Structure 1
């Protein structure tokens, strides 16, 4: 069953519980679980050979804490490498430096957020241009995976 059909089936079951048993029973039946939403504002412009900072944020907009660890990935374009830190996650740079992965432990509460700090370094000799990068969070069973990624732009000046 596709995620869309499963989501519709769960909403229909929730509505049936509300009608049959009332709002008290619906609280448990209608729980959606942890739902991650990712955002990343464009970093400050950077000169060739220089660096800037990106601060991607993951918010749990669901109604339960994350039950398992999840990973926030920052994907950088060619000519750009990164390294990351976060007080709430363990960050590492994957081979070739174009992806930073920050693993967040289980237990991100509803309404809570995690912010990483990723230093983006641009290769020397790059022409002025605008490059696109992507931030994404991977959480198994996220009920709305469509909001788990965000694009950002790196402006080389």
Structure 2
């Protein structure tokens, strides 16, 4: 099959998926958006103190996200959080150990979305290193293995 015929067949198959199953399925079949999460370790903080973690979601795919997505920041026991974002809206879930930041559809290829999550460490926590995670999910993401990242919170 020639390259031109293959390209036409691929475009036709993608169009059929789009008509039959909607944009998320077309993204999965035709390339589309691919989200990847990174989260650097926040600055160390004493017990009773606070610091910030800034997880980032990047669209490493070749198309904008066709659906909204949520970035979840999971914190360990003894740590609570609250978040903000310039391009999304954040809320703290019950018990304070998860912050959810919702972002609209349309994150362009190569673009990023960042959450600013202030974390407060309970008074009386022993010095040490605690682990948290940041994760997102987008239906049809071709590489879900890079949709989460761990980070470490150092209690002084």
TM-score interval, smaller chain: 0.7 to 0.9
Query: Structure 1 residues 40 and 27, CA, compared in 2 at 3 Å: closer, same or farther?
Result: farther
Q: CA deviation at 1:19?
A: 4.2
Secondary structure in structure 1 of the residue aligned to 2:145: helix
Q: Does 1:61 align with 2:60?
A: yes
Query: Structure 1 residues 141 and 91, CA, compared in 2 at 3 Å: closer, same or farther?
Result: same
1:94–1:100 Cα contact (<8 Å) kept? yes
Secondary structure in structure 1 of the residue aligned to 2:32: coil
1:31–1:63 Cα contact (<8 Å) kept? no
Q: Which runs of 5+ in 1 are unaligned?
A: 1-15
Q: How much is the aligned-residue C-alpha RMSD, in angstroms?
A: 1.8
Secondary structure in structure 2 of the residue aligned to 1:146: helix
Structure 2 counterpart of 1:70 = 69
1:92-140 CA-to-partner distances (Å, cap 9, x unmatched) read 0000000000000000011100011000100001110100000001111
TM-score, scaled relative to structure 2: 0.84
Secondary structure in structure 2 of the residue aligned to 1:119: strand
Query: Structure 1 residues 84 and 27, CA, compared in 2 at 3 Å: closer, same or farther?
Result: farther
Q: How many residues align?
A: 140
Secondary structure in structure 1 of the residue aligned to 2:86: coil
Secondary structure in structure 2 of the residue aligned to 1:33: coil
Structure 1 counterpart of 2:81 = 82
Structure 2 counterpart of 1:44 = 43
